[in-house]
Amino acid sequence: MKNVFDSSQQNMHTKIIVGIERLSTLFRFGLQDQAKKNQLTPLQIQIILFIGLHPKPSSPSDIADEFALTRATVSDAIKTLINKSLAEKIQDPADARKFSVRLTDQGKQELSSFHPLTQTFDKALGNLSEAECETVWQGILTLFKALHPTNIPVRMCYSCQYFKAGDGDSTHFCNLMQVTLPSQDLRLDCPEHLIKVQH
């Protein structure tokens, strides 16, 4: 099996994979820097981002699945966020052992301070034309479509049972919302996502 991180490998697949790894490193550096500024761990920052960007309260299991971590690891991070008054528990009325979490007002303020995390990418994308941004987006969609079906925790249209693909480049359709979906409206993280059953 070839090693894509071998500098002697210069085919297109290798370049794309290494490029993705470099982008991931860039975001991780930003995450670590933001964590130091806010006196939080990178995981705690990610949990705040996840909770804050989803309208429904999230359970520890949901968060553990999202980041491919154990529930114990996530529960420790959530406990710290609760102790810092950045998150609060919502007890499940049907089962006292279960709970979800949401951000407090203080947590929402903390979330709003994370904008430097995306500034590097936002500035770079701002220097691209609309057509170039569309090309980047299409590349991302194409790669995720090729990766499906996998166990990656992405609630995107391609893996949803409500999604009806168009022919070729024609407009897709969402059977839940009953709306057409041009490529720029496709989602990578939809709150209404329902995993498509594989036959």
pLDDT on residue 76: 95
What ranges in 53-183 are assigned the alpha helix state H? 60-67, 71-83, 105-112, 116-126, 130-147
Q: Which two tokens stand for residue 24?
A: 């991931």
**Contacts of 14 by beta carbon, 8 Å cutoff, 6+ apart:** 4
Is residue 125, in this structure, part of any structural domain at all?
no
pLDDT on residue 152: 62
CA 97 to chain CA centroid, Å, is: 27
Is residue 173, in this structure, part of any structural domain at all?
yes
Number of structural domains in the chain: 2
100 lies in which domain range? 12-116
One domain, residues 84 and 25: yes
Is residue 98, in this structure, part of any structural domain at all?
yes
pLDDT on residue 41: 94
Task: State the CATH number of the domain containing residue 94.
Answer: 1.10.10.10
What ranges in the chain are assigned the alpha helix state H? 12-38, 42-52, 60-67, 71-83, 105-112, 116-126, 130-147
pLDDT on residue 51: 92
| pLDDT in 10s for each residue of the chain, 199 residues | 566 556 566 789 888 999 999 999 988 888 888 889 889 999 999 999 999 888 788 899 989 988 889 999 999 999 999 999 999 999 888 888 889 999 999 999 999 888 887 888 899 999 999 999 999 999 998 888 887 665 666 778 888 889 888 876 568 899 999 998 888 888 888 878 888 776 5
Choosing from 61, 81, 116, the residue where a domain stops is: 116
One domain, residues 103 and 35: yes
pLDDT on residue 171: 81
Is residue 127, in this structure, part of any structural domain at all?
no
pTM to 2 decimals? 0.76
One domain, residues 28 and 100: yes
In tens, the pLDDT along 15-31 reads 899 999 999 998 888 88
pLDDT on residue 6: 63
Is residue 39, in this structure, part of any structural domain at all?
yes
